[in-house]
Copies of this chain bind each other. A is one copy, B any other.
Amino acid sequence: MRQQHLLNPTLRDVPADAEAASHRLMLRAGLIRQLSSGIYSYLPLGLKALRHIQRIVQEEMNAAGAQEMLMPALHPSELWKESGRWDIYGPELMRLEDRHGREFALGATHEEVITTLIRDEIQSYKKLPVRLYQIQTKFRDERRPRFGLLRGREFLMKDAYSFDRSAIGMDESYMRMYDAYHRIFTRAGLQFRAVEADSGAIGGTDTHEFMALAEVGEDTIVHCPACGYAANLEKAVGAIPANSEIAAGATHDQTPEKVHTPQTTSIKQLSQLLRIQPKRIIKSIALKAGSAPLVVLLRGDYELNEIKLKQAIGIDRIDMMTEEEIESELQSAAGFIGPVGLHKVRVIADHSVQCMSNAVTGANERDYHLLHVDVNRDLPELTYSDLRNVAEGDLCIHCGNKLAFAKGIEIGHVFKLGTKYSAKLGATFNDDKGTAEPMLMGCYGIGISRMLAAIIEQNYDDRGIIWPHAIAPYAIHLLTVQVLDEVQMKLSLDIYTALTQSGYDVLWDDREERAGVKFNDADLLGFPIRLTVGKKAAEQVIECKERRSGEQYELTVPDLLAHCQAFFNSNMRRP
């Protein structure tokens, strides 16, 4: 491609609202343009990179035994009502009416469509398993679209679905996808981790998220550098803190003692007033679980994990109690709640509370707390569960080493759905005895356009993008310094022809621009190597610059093809 014809509007200035590096660079390098909040056009270079990702995904999906198909974006509302998600999904699901007043959703995901399709087309166990995927535009009306392609409202996704006749089959489909995802993200040059995730509202059992490691990531990953355990923050479990760690200064003889703590309603205020560490305080959180009151206990330095709580109590709707409710239903006072002496209320405690002695907690009376609480002695009938977010310093449940934290961008998700959709939508098969059984499903997503942004988040410097070879829009950037110089143009054309005939994708900067502009654009666009045809053209000498290493050296034209071959081979992948 000759660059003078390319629609590639590069920008010198960074748009003010672009917070993420990938967002800034994709705008500056002319890969994308915003049409509306969270909605982007892909310009030629951006689309080319996207197509490279797409091809890798297709190859690995096909190799994993998945068949490509294509489903519509317009979904009749009846399908979503049948699955129960029309009401649950909320405002993220974009909805519209056709000219006859029939309701449709814009597909945010395709479980309903694929499950009813398979329900109608497959009856016998002989036709199972079947694994299908599509690469298709999805619509989700995010409340706060941000970070360019990282959180958009219209985006490109690969979604795959598996249908099996047994749990063993489902596990096999899941593992195939899990492995394929590893290959895909590795080929795309990403640093990533597969982390255990919560199956939460989607239902189902096992689930892993694939996280590209990046500071801009909105997800927190907890991982153990020693044994490799990794989970997202919602799911991660830390070891139960040992008794000894917090019992310092405890004397078992002291009974609870009321202390005056006027207007001291937060953990922070209390720890300052009493000069104790937050981890010696029992935090009591008053909630409504459905319509019933519920008090949750945590060690003062931990945060409640709502997802874990919902799973522990089996109730999906949780709200904070109001001050009035705390007074009327708990006979307590906001900011001074404590488990000792609380009656007729369900109380559930995180494991971290189990070993606390000589602890401080609310006295259920305005402006008073209790000292010297010993959980085992004073609260012998407490129920315990894992209800907290893992925090800095927590230890791995598998190996006891210290857990580490990282930020990640969710680029993929594999999920065992079980019979959640097949049961609701009636996707059954006849087993070998002729009995109808619901199919066992899995669903598997990759954010194709988000992957593009994640790749850039991991591959740039202050001059621009540094593409991994497999994704680079072009492998080679050929640059002619003086396009009015006949010798330079002739040599450039020869090189361009030779390289493209050898199968390399070459962008030839043949624009009438100053050399400085061209060099800056080349660094910004960031293709793996730049070949510059300049003053030494008459001597058949050109300059080669490797974008990632920054290495710069001269080459003679006869050596060029061999050099390119060696460069791309040594970097694992041909362009």
Shortest C-beta distance, A29 to chain B (Å), equals: 13
Q: With a CB–CB cut-off of 8 A, which chain B residues contact A139?
A: 73-74
A44 adjacent to chain B (CB < 8 Å): yes
Q: How many copies does the complex hold?
A: 2
Q: Name which residue of chain B comes closest to A2, CB basis.
A: B65
Nearest residue (CB) in B for A9 is B121
- Please indicate the chain B residues that have their CB under 8 angstroms from the CB of A7 in the complex: 67, 69, 121-122, 130, 132
List the B side residues contacting A96 at CB < 8 Å: 94-96, 106
A423 close to B (CB within 8 Å): no
| Complex contact B121–A72 (CB within 8 A) | no
Contact B69 A35 (CB under 8 A): no
The 6 sampled A-B contact pairs (Cβ below 8 Å) are A5-B130, A7-B130, A33-B120, A41-B113, A43-B69, A73-B154
A35-B130 in contact given A5-B65, A154-B74 (Cβ < 8 Å): no
Measured between C-beta atoms, what is the minimum distance from A67 to chain B in Å? Answer: 4
Q: How far is the CA of A171 from the CA of B1 in the complex (A)?
A: 23
Cα distance, A329 to B46, chains bound together (Å): 63
A76 contacts B41, C-beta separation under 8 Å:
no
> CB-CB < 8 A to A546: which residues of B?
none
Contact B72 A40 (CB under 8 A): yes
Complex-state Cα separation, A1 to B41, whole angstroms: 35
Tell me the smallest distance from the CB of A154 to a CB of chain B, in Å: 5
Residue A388 is within 8 A (CB to CB) of chain B in the complex: no
* A50 located at the interface, meaning its Cβ lies under 8 Å from any Cβ of chain B in the complex: yes
A117 to B40, CA, bound (A): 11
Number of A residues, CB within 8 Å of B? 53
For the complex with contacts A5-B130, A99-B143, 12 further pairs of A-B residues with Cβ separation under 8 Å are A5-B67, A7-B122, A7-B130, A41-B69, A41-B70, A41-B117, A42-B70, A44-B67, A44-B69, A47-B68, A48-B68, A96-B96
The 4 closest A-B pairs by CB, nearest first: A96-B96, A91-B99, A9-B121, A42-B70
Q: Which of A79-107 contact B (CB under 8 A)?
A: 91-92, 94-96, 98-99, 104, 106
Residues from chain B with a CB closer than 8 A to the CB of A117 are 33, 35, 41
B67 touches A6 (CB 8 A): yes
List, in ascending order, chain B residues with CB within 8 A of A219's CB: none
Query: Which residues from B are CB-within-8-Å of A36?
Result: 72, 74-76, 104
Contacts of A69 on B, CB cut-off 8 Å?
7, 41-44, 46-47
Report the separation of the CA atoms of residues A512 and B72 in the bound assembly, to the nearest whole angstrom. 32
| A71 CB contacts on chain B under 8 angstroms | 35, 41-42
A117 to B43, CA, bound (A): 10
Known contacts A74-B153, A76-B36; A98/B141 CB under 8 A:
yes
Chain B residues with CB below 8 A from A41, complex form:
69-72, 113, 117
Chain B, residue nearest A41 (CB): B71
Give the chain B neighbours of A67 by CB distance below 8 A. 1, 5-7, 44
User: Which residue of the partner chain B has the closest CB to A129?
Assistant: B5
Q: Which of A33-70 contact B (CB under 8 A)?
A: 33, 35-36, 39-44, 46-48, 50, 65, 67-70
Cβ contact within 8 Å between B40 and A99: no
A109: B residues at CB distance < 8 A: none
Task: Please give, as numbers and ranges, the residues of chain B lying within 8 Å of A44 by CB-CB distance.
Answer: 67-69, 132
- Is A261 in the interface zone, CB < 8 Å from B? no
A146 to B83, CA, bound (A): 28
In the complex, A36 Cα to B39 Cα: how many Å? 26
Q: How far is the CB of A4 from chain B (nearest CB, A)?
A: 8
> Which of B42, B72, B91, B512 lies in contact with A39, CB distance below 8 A?
B72
Count chain B CB atoms within 10 A of each CB in A36, A46, A48 and give the residue with the most.
A36
Q: Which of A1-29 contact B (CB under 8 A)?
A: 1, 5-7, 9
- Which residues from chain B contact A153 at a C-beta distance below 8 Å? 74, 98
A143 contacts across to B, CB distance below 8 A: 99
CA distance A48 to B68 in the complex (A): 8
A81, chain B: closest CB distance, angstroms: 14
Which residues of B sit under 8 angstroms from A73, Cβ to Cβ? 73, 137, 139, 154
Distance in Å: Cβ of A108 to nearest Cβ of chain B: 13
Tell me, rounded to whole Å, the shortest Cβ–Cβ distance linking A133 to chain B. Answer: 10
CB of A410, distance to nearest CB on chain B (Å): 22
Which residue, A72, A76, A99, A137, has most C-beta atoms of chain B within 10 A? A72
Taking CB atoms, residues of chain B closer than 8 Å to A70 are: 41-42, 47, 50
